[in-house]
Structure 1
Amino acid sequence: MELVEVFQRLGVALATGLLVGCERGWQDRDLPSGGRTAGIRTFGLSGFLGGLAGYLQIHTGPILPAALLLLFGAAFAAFKLRESAAEKDYGVTTVIAAFLVFALGAIAVVGDLRVAVAGGVITTALLAAKRSLHGFLTQLTWLEIRAALVLLAMTLVALPLLPNKTVDPWDALNPFALWLLTITIAAISFAGYAAIRVAGPSRGILFAGAAGGLASSTALTLSFARFAADAPQSARQLACGATIAGALSLIRVLVIGAVLAPILLIPLAIALIPAVLVMLAASFLIARRGSDTHDTPNFQLETPFKLGEVLRFGALLGAVIVVSKVLVDRIGQTMIFVVAAVSGLMDLDAITLSTARLTETSVDLAAAVAAILIAVVVNLVTKIVLAFTAGGRGPYATTLALTTVAAITAGAVAHFTLGSFVPTS
């Protein structure tokens, strides 16, 4: 190693320590001089010492650097123990940070400089995020933590154990692919829930509508219909929230279909984007003319990730995949339209995923697009029926129905006029 490179690497080791020490010193800036175990100078020297230990390893082997690490750790822990006893603060974060700085200093000399620099930045960012991380933890519920853990277990533990090949007589059901699709949809729903959770659904119906579109727009439409029956003065605002949920559910269909089968992007976008624009424009007009948010009911956002619901969705998705494949192979691809119409009554994700997987194998592009759009129309009409059934013939149901019909009309006009210009093969 050239002498210039040695100095460069030792400089990175020192800079890494100074970066972490700057954060630690700022946190304890109100303490008098000598009142803290380590600040910017101590951490800077710790990183430099780690760099020297790495340099010694090149020439003397690992024994001397290991001895330096033990002596450094013992001395630092001893002084931190005295500080903790005096201040009655038993946090060990500063000690761990000191070991990290020493190790990153050694990496800067004997390893990859990029790893050392990235490690220093990440360490400093985590230390600086103490208040925000603690505040985030205080807002979490046990159900949310459990949902995240279950999602991680399903992804990192269960998924690798599943066979990545079809296991049924119809050559349709791949357990690995099915489970991957299931947890992907669950993750999308949970991510949407987390985003709205941070923003706060209590801010109004519009946030709740956005949450419903990312989780379950059908369930939200039914829930808002019941709210509208109890609070007629807020019916139009509730219809606005339900319309936003419907628009986001269409965007979700477009994204899922395009990700699994990119060839679906343009033909689906031609039909769905005009419908989405109509729904969003209507929502904007309704929101401007609607009542104040203090008259709206308090919508309680619930986590969409529940193991039972995820398993039921997986079973539904598996059934749709098998039925679609069998009917298309034995009767013809026109049977996908029947499956789409029935599936649209319950869920859009399952038929979108199933149809996207069949594209370019058993179903051509035109039939796949038509099947997904049939499911979308059936699902939107189902929401209108639910609105009239649960909310009566008041402003909520009529406003939602008019907006939905206008959106379907816009999408149909765009599909039948512009769709002919899209190649189908």
Structure 2
Amino acid sequence: MTDSPLLFRLAVALAIGLIIGLERGWKQREEAEGERTAGLRTYTLTALLGGLCAILATHTSPVFLGLAFFGFAIGFSAFSWLEAKAEQNFSVTGVVAGLLTFTLGAYAILGDLTVAVAAGVTVMLILALKKPLHSWLRRITWLEVRSVLILLAMTFLALPLLPNRTVDPWGAINPAEIWLLAILIAAISFAGYVAVRIMGSQAGVALAAAAGGLASSTATTVTLARMAREHPAASPLLAAGILLAGTVMVARVLIVASALNGALLLPLAWPLGAAGLVLLAAAAILFLTNRGDGREHPVLNIRNPFDLGMALKLAALIGAINMLTKWIGDTLGGSGLTALAAISGIADVDAITLSLARQSHEGIAIVTATLAIAVAVAVNTASKAALTFFFGAPKAGWIVSGASAAAVAAGGAAFAFLG
């Protein structure tokens, strides 16, 4: 190790200590001098100490670094204990942060600099996000935590036990594959569900609509449409939220389908991209021109998609759609699949998207799968316009219908151009 790289590594160690110390010192900035165990200078020096001990260990013995860390841990913990005793503060976060700072300072000398810097920034972010993290934990219920734990257990324990082969005469039902697909969709929906739960009624229409579109664009549409009926003057803003949720749904279908079969990415990107851009542009224009309307924030009541019962129902739906897709594809061909996609798209696009993307590996032509998925998205987009008319104000219904029609037309034109 030459002097230049060594000096650079020491500088990185110092920088890691500085960013961690900056966060620690800022939180304790109101305390008088001598009333805090560690602040900006202490954490910076701790990282430098870890780096210097690592250098000495390379010239002596690795045992030296272990003993140095042990000695630092005892001394730092002792001073932190005295501070905690005086202030009746039982948090151990500062001690853990100090030990991590020493360790990262040493790792900056001995290990991968990218990993060291990334870990240092992560530590700083976790420390800085104390209040938001605690606030999020207070919003999440035990039932939601339990649902995740149960489903994780079933995924990592039950999935390996499920037969990874077709078990029906038509070669359509693969239990392991269907369960994995159900987990995939539930996980994506759960991310949106958690976002809605975390943001709650404090979220603006745009943020809630985007998160709700990830969890369930249909439920989001119904919620915003009902708000439009209660607050007709806010119809343009709430219609913008519905269109944004639809945009997220379109992007979600494209990502899921192309993840299961990369050959679908380019064929679907044209029609879905065109439709999504029209929806997004319409939503953006409405948001920008109606920012002062609709002061009431939407509260989206979306069921937990990671509930075991919901996951099992989703798996059953995917299995049923798989069987229908296989049977219709073998007997009626592409026209039958398009009709099935249109029927499925009235209520849900996930199951038909997963089925067509998977079976496009096994005989269904890419162009047929692309058309059927695009039709499902188009029908689902039109159904959201109908839901807005049914549950919401007429003005919101006309806005969503006009934008949806333009999006479907743009997608159809793009598909025709591609063909």
TM class, shorter-length: 0.7 to 0.9
Contact 2:159 2:179 in 1 (8 A): yes
Residues of 2 paired with 1:288 and 1:38: CA distance? 47
Residues of 1 paired with 2:103 and 2:290: CA distance? 60
How far is 1:388 from its partner?
5.1
TM-score (norm 1): 0.78
**More off after superposition, 371-380 vs 112-121:** 112-121
Contact 1:204 1:293 in 2 (8 A): no
Contact 1:84 1:90 in 2 (8 A): yes
> Which residue of structure 1 aligns with residue 95 of structure 2?
95
Deviations 1:238-270 (Å, cap 9, x if unpaired)? 444433333432333233333333333343343
> Which residue of structure 1 aligns with residue 375 of structure 2?
374
1:123 and 2:139 correspond:
no
Residues of 1 paired with 2:45 and 2:228: CA distance? 66
Larger Rg: 1
Q: Secondary structure at the match of 2:319?
A: helix
How far is 1:411 from its partner?
3.2
| Unaligned residue ranges in structure 1 (runs of 5+) | 421-425
> Which residue of structure 2 aligns with residue 328 of structure 1?
329
How far is 1:359 from its partner?
1.9
Q: Secondary structure at the match of 1:347?
A: coil
Q: Secondary structure at the match of 2:91?
A: coil
Residues of 2 paired with 1:157 and 1:8: CA distance? 46
Question: Taking structure 1 as reference, are residues 325 and 75 closer, same or farther at Cα in structure 2, changes over 3 Å only?
Answer: same
Residues of 1 paired with 2:325 and 2:25: CA distance? 63
How far is 1:236 from its partner?
5.5
> Which residue of structure 2 aligns with residue 339 of structure 1?
340
Q: Secondary structure at the match of 1:36?
A: coil
Deviations 1:140-177 (Å, cap 9, x if unpaired)? 45555556555655655555555544444433333343
Question: Taking structure 1 as reference, are residues 343 and 76 closer, same or farther at Cα in structure 2, changes over 3 Å only?
Answer: same
- The one-letter code of the counterpart of 1:311 is L
**More off after superposition, 61-70 vs 214-223:** 61-70
| Unaligned residue ranges in structure 2 (runs of 5+) | none
> Which residue of structure 2 aligns with residue 263 of structure 1?
263
Question: Taking structure 1 as reference, are residues 364 and 29 closer, same or farther at Cα in structure 2, changes over 3 Å only?
Answer: same
Contact 2:151 2:306 in 1 (8 A): no
Residues of 2 paired with 1:64 and 1:290: CA distance? 65
Residues of 1 paired with 2:5 and 2:278: CA distance? 62
> Which residue of structure 1 aligns with residue 418 of structure 2?
419
Question: Taking structure 1 as reference, are residues 48 and 162 closer, same or farther at Cα in structure 2, changes over 3 Å only?
Answer: farther
How far is 1:366 from its partner?
2.3
Report 1:102-141 matches (<5 A): 102-141=102-141
**More off after superposition, 259-268 vs 105-114:** 105-114
Question: Taking structure 1 as reference, are residues 222 and 2 closer, same or farther at Cα in structure 2, changes over 3 Å only?
Answer: closer
Question: Taking structure 1 as reference, are residues 47 and 298 closer, same or farther at Cα in structure 2, changes over 3 Å only?
Answer: closer
Residues of 2 paired with 1:2 and 1:288: CA distance? 57
Deviations 1:327-379 (Å, cap 9, x if unpaired)? 32355444322432332232111111211222253111221122123323433
Residues of 1 paired with 2:36 and 2:179: CA distance? 52
Identity rate of aligned residues, in percent?
Answer: 43
> Which residue of structure 1 aligns with residue 311 of structure 2?
310
- The one-letter code of the counterpart of 1:342 is I
Question: Taking structure 1 as reference, are residues 310 and 2 closer, same or farther at Cα in structure 2, changes over 3 Å only?
Answer: same
> Which residue of structure 1 aligns with residue 71 of structure 2?
71
Residues of 2 paired with 1:22 and 1:235: CA distance? 46
> Which residue of structure 1 aligns with residue 85 of structure 2?
85
Question: Taking structure 1 as reference, are residues 116 and 247 closer, same or farther at Cα in structure 2, changes over 3 Å only?
Answer: closer
Deviations 1:16-52 (Å, cap 9, x if unpaired)? 5455444434433443443332344544554455445
Question: Taking structure 1 as reference, are residues 191 and 33 closer, same or farther at Cα in structure 2, changes over 3 Å only?
Answer: same
1:24 and 2:45 correspond:
no
Aligned length: 418
Question: Taking structure 1 as reference, are residues 75 and 190 closer, same or farther at Cα in structure 2, changes over 3 Å only?
Answer: same
> Which residue of structure 2 aligns with residue 179 of structure 1?
179
Residues of 1 paired with 2:257 and 2:220: CA distance? 23
1:354 and 2:349 correspond:
no
- Alpha-carbon RMSD across the aligned residues, in angstroms, is 4.0
Contact 2:268 2:370 in 1 (8 A): yes
Residues of 2 paired with 1:375 and 1:36: CA distance? 62
- The one-letter code of the counterpart of 2:418 is G
TM-score (norm 2): 0.79
Residues of 1 paired with 2:73 and 2:346: CA distance? 64
**More off after superposition, 25-34 vs 347-356:** 25-34
Contact 1:237 1:287 in 2 (8 A): yes
Question: Taking structure 1 as reference, are residues 173 and 91 closer, same or farther at Cα in structure 2, changes over 3 Å only?
Answer: same
> Which residue of structure 2 aligns with residue 423 of structure 1?
none
Residues of 1 paired with 2:286 and 2:67: CA distance? 72
Report 1:396-415 matches (<5 A): 396-415=396-415
Contact 1:329 1:362 in 2 (8 A): no
How far is 1:386 from its partner?
4.2
**More off after superposition, 295-304 vs 265-274:** 295-304
**More off after superposition, 354-363 vs 163-172:** 163-172
